[in-house]
Structures are given as structure tokens and as C-alpha cells.
Structure 1
Amino acid sequence: MDRRQVKESWEALSETYARTRPTDGNDVALLDELVERLPADPRVLDVGCGDGQRTLANLDGTDRVGLDFARAGLDLAARNVPVARLVQGDMTRLPLQAGSVDAITAYHAVFHVPQANHPDVYREFARVLRPGGLVLTTVGGSRYETVRRGWLGSDERMFFSTPGRDRTREQLRAAGFDVRWERHVDDPLGSAALFLLAELRA
């Protein structure tokens, strides 16, 4: 699937995803830990915010900016998290100024970009972050690239891709980040997700 097709699938599936995805879980608690590391009045960009209930809504005490590929997801986020500023765009070319945010969250988001473009995403993260800025993101444990048909019980397809844990760490380092920790956290859907916190070198 190309990026246009991925966007079309998200336009069709945003409401279904919002209904079926739990909004609580241990991974939400990581957001409190992230915010504690940030300066006063931080600006946080949530990449792939979707309906906003899972990550964006839990970034209390921050200037929240939600970015999503699909207009349908942003429409939901506008209702669910009215305090947030919302932007439609592609994470491979973020429509934000350089050095304009203190942290980035990307929960289950980079997975929808082809492996070949993951370095572009991390370079964009580095560009829009201030020196010392943080990225909290999910990481694939192994390498794969696949299209799942009938995703979420629908007639739609969805694209998933990751170069795996080790290659992701290399790509982040190449983009200017140092990895601070990584953890497996129980996912509300019954599996364990690998999370990584990385800091942009000053």
C-alpha cells in the first residue's frame, strides 16, 4: 500500500478504531513519566493522534498538538480533546517549525510508514524538537512489512511495517537521539508492546 492508500484506509477506519481501542492501560502511565521530565509549560506533539482519547487526552499540563494523516481522526479528536491544537499532515514531512516542541509521542504510529521511510520520520522528529527534546514511541521487536486485510473486522486493508528493535535504535541514533530506556508494557488488547524513550542530543 502506498501512503495515499494508507490515508484512505484511516479515513474509513478512524471511527471503528476509536470504538474498539481501549483508552486505559499501563502504556498511558508512561505519559505521566514523560511529562515529569519536561520543562515548565511544555509543548508536546502527538503523532498519529487519531481520536485523541488514548494519548492526547492524557498529556495533562502540556500545550498539546495532535497530528494525524486522516481528517476523520482529527474530527473525533476535536470533540474529545477540545483544548488541543490539531494539524493534518504526514509524519515524514511534519508541518511544524524547527525546534518548536519539547516532546513527541508516537503510539503505534510509525508502524504505518514503509521501512525505507522510517529514517525520514526520525529526522523530522529531530528537526521539530528543541535540543534535549524527548520521543516516546512504540517499536517493533522484529522486522516485518505486511498488509492486513479485513482489519478490525472491516472491509479495509491496513499497512504495517517495522525494521525491528535494533535497526530502529540505529536509525534514532543516526537522527541525533540517545536511547534512554526501553520497556515492554502490557497493551489493553492483551499483548505486550515495546516502548522506547529517546532524547535529542543538545
Structure 2
Amino acid sequence: MSDRDAVRRAYDEMAETYAAERSERGRGVEILTAFLDDLPDRPRVLDAGCGQGTPVLRRLAGSADPVGLDFSREQLGLARENVPGAPLVRGDMTALPFRDDAFDAVTAYHSLIHVPLDDHATVVEEFARVLRPGGRVLLTEGVEEWSGKNPDWLDSGVEMRWDIAGAEATKSQLRDAGFAVVGEWRATDRLADDEAEKPLFEARLEEEPQE
């Protein structure tokens, strides 16, 4: 079984457990909220790896045009319950099923870290493709490159896998895709296996030069 299929199966099997453990508080959510609040009026936002619809889609309901994307059918089912009426799409971040220049912002909140390392740059390029010039992305990563798995994540009896590119590699991938990194923070993820702070990056897609 590929890593991608293993992650998808894990999130299907432990959807309820993950939803119960995911906090909507803390420094990471504060950074996310400030990012969303600073977007233009009625923005179109893609939440890539939306999971159960929290914290991103729920915060945008009523004030924006959010779209949630996830490859887990069970997670999307929970998102449908948590954020009724929000457009939800089952798909893969390495080949986003959206046209070019479709969004004002993209969030990837604890989702890029599950993509195989060789595909990280492709995902960042896909974010650039679907964003309008000047569009913004907020994503979470890890400090150093690491790939591994936990056979009993969150005491669920389900194996979860991660592929983390690391902070410097992620910033390089963003720049290569045409982004300027405009913000970097550290925040503790209470779902992590350790208490280390993890980086969040905000980047802006550079405007195309005028002819």
C-alpha cells in the first residue's frame, strides 16, 4: 500500500477520533484566524485537506466563499455535518480539480505533512496555479525533514504516516513556485507526538510584471 493510500485509509478509519482530539484553540488557530480576517471582502478560499471542516471552513461560513478539499470520504462526511452548505470536493492536492486563478487564498492546515516528500513541490505549484496573482497561502510544516509513522496514533489502533519536508525546504519550494514568504511563526500542535513547536508560513503569490 502506498503512503498516500495509507494516510487516506487512516483518516477514514479514525475520522471521529481525530475530530474529537483536534483543538480549535491555541497559537496556531490564532494565526489562522488573523490570516483569514485579513483577506479581502468575501474571499474565495480553498481549504486543502479540510478534514472535518474545522477550524477553517467553520470560521469562514457566512463571511466568505470557502471550498473544502480532502481525499478522505469520512472526513468530508463530518465536514458536511459541521459546515452545512459549504462546497466540498473529494480530491488530491497534487492535482487540484480547479481552474487556474480560482481562489484568493489557500490554507493547508496540517495536510501538506502527509503528502509524499517527492510531491511536496508539486502541491505548492498547484497552490500557485489556482491562486489569483497576489493570492495568499497559509500552511503548516515541520522544522526538519522527517518521514515516519505511528502504528497507534491517538490511541486509535490506526497507523498514521507523515512526510515532512522541513522549514527551509518548504520556503525554497514556495519561492520556486513564485511566492514571497511574508510571515513565519512557531506553534505547538497538541496532536503531535511531542511538544515541539512547528512552523507556519504565510506566502503571497507575486504579481505578474506588467508588459
User: Structure 1 length as normaliser, TM-score?
Assistant: 0.94
One-letter code of the match for 2:152? G
- Kindly state the Cα deviation for residue 143 of structure 1 after the two structures are TM-superposed: 0.8
Q: 1:85 aligns with which of 84, 87, 101?
A: 87
Secondary structure of the structure 2 residue equivalent to 1:181: strand
Give percent identity, aligned residues only: 44
1:34 paired to 2:35: yes
User: Which of 167, 170, 180 does residue 168 from structure 1 map onto?
Assistant: 170
Match of 2:13 in 1: 12
The answer to whether the 8 Å contact 1:24/1:188 transfers is: no
CA distance in 1, matches of 2:5, 2:188: 32
* Structure 1 residue aligned with 2:183: 181
Range moving further from structure 2, 118-127 or 190-199: 190-199
Q: Any residues of structure 2 matched to 1:88-107 within 5 Å, and which?
A: 88-107=90-109
Matches of 1:186 and 1:66, distance apart in 2:
24
* Runs of 5+ consecutive residues of structure 1 not aligned to the other structure: none
| AA of the residue aligned to 1:108 | H
Question: Which residue in 1 is equivalent to 2:136?
Answer: 134
* Comparing 14-23 and 63-72, the one that deviates more: 14-23
1:158-192, Cα deviation, whole Å (9 max, x unpaired): 11011211111101111111100101124445653
CA positional deviation for 1:109: 0.5
Alignment partners' CA distance in 1, 2:60 and 2:190: 19
Q: What is the identity, as a one-letter code, of the residue corresponding to 2:203?
A: A
Q: Residue by residue, what CA displacement relative to the aligned partner does 1:29-51 show, whole Å, maximum 9, x if unpaired?
A: 22332234322210011111111
Verify the 8 A CA contact 1:64 1:83 in the aligned structure 2: no
What letter matches 2:49 in structure 1? G
Question: For 1:51 and 1:36, how far apart are their aligned partners in 2?
Answer: 21
Answering whether residue 113 of structure 2 is matched by residue 108 of structure 1, we say no
Task: Answer yes or no: is 1:51 the counterpart of 2:56.
Answer: no
Q: Counterparts of 1:199 and 1:181 in 2: how far apart (Å)?
A: 9
1:31–1:58 contact (8 Å) kept in structure 2 = no
AA aligned opposite 2:119? N
Q: How many residue pairs align between the two structures?
A: 202
Tell me the distance in 1 between the aligned counterparts of 2:26 and 2:130: 28
- Counterpart AA for 2:56: T
Farther off after superposition, 51-60 or 171-180: 51-60
**Which 4+ stretches in 1 moved above 3 angstroms?**
186-191
- Structure 2's unaligned 5+ residue stretches are none
SS in 1 for 2:143: coil
CA RMSD of aligned residues (A): 1.5
* 2:14 match: secondary structure: helix
User: Which whole-Å deviations, capped at 9, do the CAs of 1:79-123 have from their partners, x for residues lacking one?
Assistant: 101142111111111111111010011111000011111001001
Task: Give how far 1:15 is off.
Answer: 1.3
2:141/2:165 contact within 8 Å kept: no
- Cα distance change on mapping 1:188 and 1:58 into 2, 3 Å: farther
Query: 2:157 and 2:188 mapped to 1: Cα distance?
Result: 28
Distance 1:53 1:123 in 2: 25
Verify the 8 A CA contact 1:28 1:58 in the aligned structure 2.
Answer: no
Aligned position for 2:153: 151
Q: TM-score, normalised by structure 2?
A: 0.90
Structure 2: how far apart are the matches of 1:8 and 1:92?
Answer: 18
